[in-house]
């Protein structure tokens, strides 16, 4: 009944279902109805691509061989997800902001968009994926043989003839077609594949369900309850003396590293994520998935040891136990579960790694060799697509080659751990780059290269038996004992895995730190470092503050069309143009736009290639070191902050100084006012005392004194009014209602008012040459106040025997001027400077009885200053004073 053909048919039907799911998912996504595709549940299930056939078959195998150690592979990710707030959140935020397409893109972006670094990470990923894919091929091939009854003794779970490599080859070809069809149907700008995510979420459900069904069957169907099962446990299985030693720590650590460093995990966690809500849920839901996955592993392992014939392959217990119990349907379901876990791992790995190969190895070479410049629109996309397809095929073939060459008698788990130790090499550069500002490209390159080399020499190659033959393992390279791959520098007696991780990661981390410290980062590295480390503080658009670039819009448009496709490129340009509020369809290629475009392109070809592409078009590029220093260096920022504080306190000091000065001016003003007030008050008091205490005062004297008292009190009133007026003018409260007026009208009115003053005296007030039709911006009342003040001063202080005051007006160089001259005592040269100051009276007032507060000229001067004009003393009049009022003429 369980013929190979039936198994094949079921497997093909299952694949068809997956295709249908992916198709529906993509359709929904394209019409914008993402809905459940973006739900935290689907996201979490897609992350469980972590559980490959290593988990499905290998975990039981591992539990049967070394007890609880298998759990570490799931405890590591549990710890990382429980602490998502620390690492994953930052990783995903950066991935979103910078359009990160893969782990290679992430690391290279962080280190100044370094193309060599991206290529190195890609290369390591390819090498690491070889054993990992080989593991899946081995598991599928073996399970196919077992469930399809192909071997002589299926219950042993391991065909005596070994795995059927012909079958393995065709499985590889099938997976290659499957992955190409799935993963490279279209190139999405963000490298998101909603259809694939839907399919692998479905597979996640299948594999968990299969494992739980098998578990339930084993525990309650075969074993008779959990207690009975554990009673069968070999005593040393769960209580091995060295169970919780260095290996326990190492495997937990490797698993924790792998959940972020594995290209496929990075892809589903970072690249495919759409919002932070997803991680919030995954932080507990994914550990829960792992928990449920592991729940039945130990019972299944114990049952396998207890019930299946001795020497059975523990890696196939999940499959052989139901077969042994005669539950063919469960066995078939288990096969589908294992098939699911293997296929989802292969698909996502292929998508992730082929993206890396095409973006970080093929594209840079294409750019270098100028394939791209001459290409027509769409050719870059074609190049990307075909390079991805080819790299998927090559990747699977390499995996098959590893499977074939290693001949691997080894357990699935030990192959998987080799891969984990390989990707863990990314950890120092990745995590260091997220949290350590001074980490730079030199450190990352050297650390990675050294770590990967040591990993290959101490772990990968010995397993391979290629180059590092058992002979070399035994006696060291070139017969040098200190170069023995599993006892480097004589460090022997260690578990090979622990030994390899110690040396490779230790040297990697040390070199990463040491070279980073020794080398000064380039400006772009410094910028990227800030953008990554401070992702929650600095906005990603900081880049456009620092980078100064210009490029012809036309060339940018051609470039964008080649990579994004015509429609998407046009849409992007249209949106950018409308964001710039231009009213046309072509945006201005400013720094912000170029940065946005580069980030958009990075979503398709990776940051390093996008930068290389944009750089071909950009005509000027400078990175403003000043700006960079300002934002990049924390100490610099602190310094800037303290400078800012210093500046602020300096300003405060100045303000205080200014206030003090104003305060003392105010004091001085007050004391001047007080003095000015006290003089008339002294007169008033003195005369009123005379009037009170002099009974024999002549009536005419008394009348005079009363008049003086009256005059002095009027003077006091004027003084206070003027003081208030001046205070208002000095505070900058400009004269109200500045309008277009004819100043001649105000002048004429003023003269008329002053004629009244003159009437009782012998002063002759005359008006000379005058202009007509002038317009100035002023306030008529204020201007009249100035004229009256000046004319009445000229009248009051004129001591000439034949006093005269003469008023003229004219237009002089675009300025309206009024000259008020008299033949009085004039202003003495030493008074000219101070005559417009407060409480300063010319000596002339001593020659006459007229008393003033000494504020009139100050007020007039202030009024004209406010109106944009001036009040000056005209030079050169032979006798008397001549004041000049000037106001700018406004065109009528």
Quick one: 64 or 330, whose CB is closer to other proteins? 64
Quick one: 79 or 734, whose CB is closer to other proteins? 79
Nearest-angstrom CA–CA distance, 194 and 198 = 6
Quick one: 19 or 669, whose CB is closer to other proteins? 669
Quick one: 280 or 770, whose CB is closer to other proteins? 280
Nearest-angstrom CA–CA distance, 645 and 639 = 9
Quick one: 154 or 680, whose CB is closer to other proteins? 680
Quick one: 433 or 854, whose CB is closer to other proteins? 854
Closest CB 689 distance from other proteins, rounded Å: 5
Closest CB 248 distance from other proteins, rounded Å: 7
Closest CB 677 distance from other proteins, rounded Å: 8
Quick one: 766 or 848, whose CB is closer to other proteins? 848
Quick one: 49 or 294, whose CB is closer to other proteins? 294
Quick one: 311 or 699, whose CB is closer to other proteins? 699
Quick one: 89 or 570, whose CB is closer to other proteins? 89
Token pair of 648 as six digits: 């602020």
Nearest-angstrom CA–CA distance, 793 and 880 = 12
Closest CB 699 distance from other proteins, rounded Å: 15
> Burial, 882: exposed, middle or buried (Cβ in 10 Å; 0-12, 13-18, 19+)?
buried
Nearest-angstrom CA–CA distance, 223 and 216 = 10
Quick one: 84 or 816, whose CB is closer to other proteins? 84
Closest CB 831 distance from other proteins, rounded Å: 9
Q: Which residues bind other proteins (CB under 8 A)?
A: 68, 71, 75, 78-86, 226-227, 230-231, 233, 235, 238-239, 243-245, 248-249, 252, 280-281, 283-285, 287-288, 291, 294-295, 298, 670-671, 674-675, 678-687, 689-690, 693-694, 705, 708, 711-712, 841, 843, 845-846, 849, 851
Closest CB 819 distance from other proteins, rounded Å: 26
Region label for 225, one of left (φ > 0), alpha (ψ between -120 and 50) or beta (otherwise): left
Residue 820: beta bridge partners?
807, 883
Quick one: 349 or 683, whose CB is closer to other proteins? 683
Closest CB 219 distance from other proteins, rounded Å: 12
Token pair of 256 as six digits: 């924790």
Residue 606 near residue 104 (C-beta atoms within 8 A):
yes
The percent helix, strand, coil of the chain (3-state, each to 5) is 70, 5, 25
Closest CB 881 distance from other proteins, rounded Å: 16
Nearest-angstrom CA–CA distance, 75 and 77 = 6
Closest CB 79 distance from other proteins, rounded Å: 5
Quick one: 245 or 653, whose CB is closer to other proteins? 245
Query: Tokens 């169907």 identify what position?
Result: 221
CA distances from residue 588 to 551, 573, 621, 710, 778 in whole angstroms, order as listed? 9, 10, 16, 77, 46
Q: Is 337 helix (H, G, I), strand (E, B) or coil?
A: helix
Strands 815-822 and 804-812, bridge-based pairing? antiparallel
Query: Tokens 């005209």 identify what position?
Result: 874
Nearest-angstrom CA–CA distance, 315 and 57 = 5
Strands 764-767 and 804-812, bridge-based pairing? parallel
Closest CB 690 distance from other proteins, rounded Å: 6
Backbone angles phi, psi at 822, to 5 degrees: -140, 175
Closest CB 184 distance from other proteins, rounded Å: 35
Residue 358 near residue 381 (C-beta atoms within 8 A):
no
Closest CB 669 distance from other proteins, rounded Å: 12
Closest CB 277 distance from other proteins, rounded Å: 10
Closest CB 279 distance from other proteins, rounded Å: 9
Closest CB 793 distance from other proteins, rounded Å: 15
Long-range contacts of 460-469 (CB under 8 A, 24+ apart): 460/127, 460/131, 460/418, 460/422, 461/485, 462/486, 462/496, 463/131, 463/406, 463/408, 463/410, 463/414, 463/415, 463/418, 464/402, 464/405, 464/406, 465/405, 465/406, 465/407, 466/405
Quick one: 155 or 681, whose CB is closer to other proteins? 681
DSSP per position, 729-746: HHTT-PPS--EEE-HHHH
Residue 883 near residue 871 (C-beta atoms within 8 A):
yes
CB neighbours of residue 863 within 10 Å = 24
The residue among 790, 785, 796 whose CA lies nearest residue 757 is 796
Quick one: 83 or 539, whose CB is closer to other proteins? 83
Residue 106 near residue 608 (C-beta atoms within 8 A):
no
């Amino acid at each position: 009944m369980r013929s190979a053909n039936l198994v094949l048919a079921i497997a093909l039907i299952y694949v068809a279902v997956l295709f249908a799911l992916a198709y529906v998912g993509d359709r929904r996504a394209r019409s914008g109805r993402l809905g459940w595709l973006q739900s935290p549940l689907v996201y979490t299930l897609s992350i469980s691509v972590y559980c490959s056939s290593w988990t499905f078959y290998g975990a039981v195998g591992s539990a049967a061989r070394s007890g609880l150690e298998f759990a570490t592979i799931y405890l590591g990710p549990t710890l990382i997800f429980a602490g998502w707030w620390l690492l994953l959140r930052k990783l995903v935020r950066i991935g979103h902001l910078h359009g990160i397409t893969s782990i290679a893109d992430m690391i290279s972006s962080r280190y100044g968009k370094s193309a060599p670094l991206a290529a190195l990470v890609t290369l390591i990923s390819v090498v690491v994926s070889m054993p990992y894919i080989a593991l899946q091929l081995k598991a599928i091939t073996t399970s196919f043989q077992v469930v399809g009854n192909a071997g002589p003794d299926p219950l042993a779970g391991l065909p005596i003839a070994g795995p059927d490599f012909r079958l393995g080859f065709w499985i590889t070809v099938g997976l290659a077609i499957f992955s190409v069809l799935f993963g490279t149907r279209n190139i999405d700008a963000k490298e998101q594949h909603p259809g694939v995510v839907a399919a692998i979420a479905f597979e996640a459900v299948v594999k968990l369900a299969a494992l739980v069904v098998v578990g339930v069957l084993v525990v309650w169907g075969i074993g008779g309850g959990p207690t009975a099962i554990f009673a069968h446990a070999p005593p040393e299985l769960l209580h091995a003396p060295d169970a919780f030693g260095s290996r326990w720590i190492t495997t937990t650590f490797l698993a924790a590293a792998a959940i972020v460093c594995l290209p496929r995990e990075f892809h589903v966690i970072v690249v495919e994520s759409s919002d932070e809500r997803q991680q919030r849920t995954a932080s507990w839901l994914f550990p829960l998935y792992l928990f449920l996955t592991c729940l039945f592993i130990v019972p299944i392992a114990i049952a396998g040891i207890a019930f299946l014939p001795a020497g059975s392959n523990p890696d196939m217990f999940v499959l052989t136990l139901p077969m042994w119990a005669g539950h063919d349907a469960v066995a078939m379901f288990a096969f589908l579960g294992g098939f699911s876990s293997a296929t989802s791992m292969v698909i996502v790995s292929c998508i992730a790694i082929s993206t890396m190969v095409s973006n970080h190895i093929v594209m840079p070479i294409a750019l270098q060799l100028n394939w791209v410049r001459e290409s027509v629109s769409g050719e870059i996309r074609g190049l990307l697509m075909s390079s991805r397809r080819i790299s998927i095929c090559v990747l699977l073939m390499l995996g098959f080659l590893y499977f074939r060459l290693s001949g691997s008698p080894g357990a699935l788990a030990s192959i998987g751990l080799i891969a984990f130790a390989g990707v863990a090499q990314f950890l120092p550069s990745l995590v260091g780059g997220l949290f350590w500002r001074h980490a730079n490209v030199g450190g990352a390159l050297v650390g990675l290269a050294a770590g990967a080399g040591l990993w290959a020499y101490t772990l990968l190659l010995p397993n391979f038996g290629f180059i590092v033959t058992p002979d070399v393992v035994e006696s060291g390279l070139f017969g040098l004992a200190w170069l023995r791959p599993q006892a480097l520098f004589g460090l022997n007696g260690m578990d090979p895995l622990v030994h390899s991780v110690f040396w490779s990661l230790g040297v990697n981390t040390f070199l990463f730190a040491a070279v980073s410290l020794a080398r000064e980062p380039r400006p772009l590295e410094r910028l990227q470092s800030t953008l990554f480390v401070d992702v929650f503080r600095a906005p990603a658009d900081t880049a456009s503050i620092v980078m100064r670039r210009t490029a012809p819009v036309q060339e940018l448009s051609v470039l964008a069309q080649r990579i994004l496709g015509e429609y998407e490129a046009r849409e992007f340009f249209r949106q950018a143009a409308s964001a710039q509020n231009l009213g046309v369809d072509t945006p201005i290629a400013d720094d912000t736009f170029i940065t946005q475009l580069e980030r958009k392109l990075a979503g398709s070809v990776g940051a390093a290639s996008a930068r290389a592409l944009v750089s071909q078009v950009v005509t000027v590029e400078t990175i403003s070191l000043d700006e960079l220093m300002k934002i990049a260096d924390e100490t610099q920022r602190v310094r800037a902050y303290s400078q800012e504080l210093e500046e602020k306190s300096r300003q405060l000091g100045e303000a205080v100084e200014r206030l003090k000065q104003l305060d003392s001016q105010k004091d001085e003003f007050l004391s001047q006012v007080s003095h000015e007030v006290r003089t008339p008050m002294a007169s008033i008091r003195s005369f009123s005392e005379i009037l009170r205490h002099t009974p024999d005062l002549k009536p005419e004297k008394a009348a005079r004194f009363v008049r003086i008292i009256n005059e002095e009190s009027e003077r006091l009133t004027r003084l206070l009014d003027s003081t208030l007026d001046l205070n208002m003018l000095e505070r900058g409260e400009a004269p109200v209602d500045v309008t277009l007026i004819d100043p001649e009208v105000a002048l004429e009115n003023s003269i008329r008012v002053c004629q009244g003053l003159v009437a009782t005296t012998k002063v002759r007030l005359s008006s000379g040459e005058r202009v007509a039709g002038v317009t100035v911006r002023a306030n008529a009342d204020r201007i009249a106040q100035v004229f009256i003040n000046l004319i009445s001063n000229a009248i009051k202080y004129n001591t000439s025997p034949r006093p005269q005051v003469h008023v003229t007006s004219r237009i002089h160089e675009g300025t309206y001027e009024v000259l008020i001259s008299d033949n009085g005592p004039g202003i003495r040269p030493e008074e000219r400077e101070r005559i417009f100051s407060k409480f300063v009276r010319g000596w002339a007032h001593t020659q006459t009885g007229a008393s003033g507060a000494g504020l009139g000229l100050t007020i007039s001067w202030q009024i004209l200053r406010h109106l944009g004009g001036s009040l000056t003393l005209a030079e050169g009049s032979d006798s008397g004073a001549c004041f000049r009022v000037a106001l700018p003429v406004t065109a009528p």
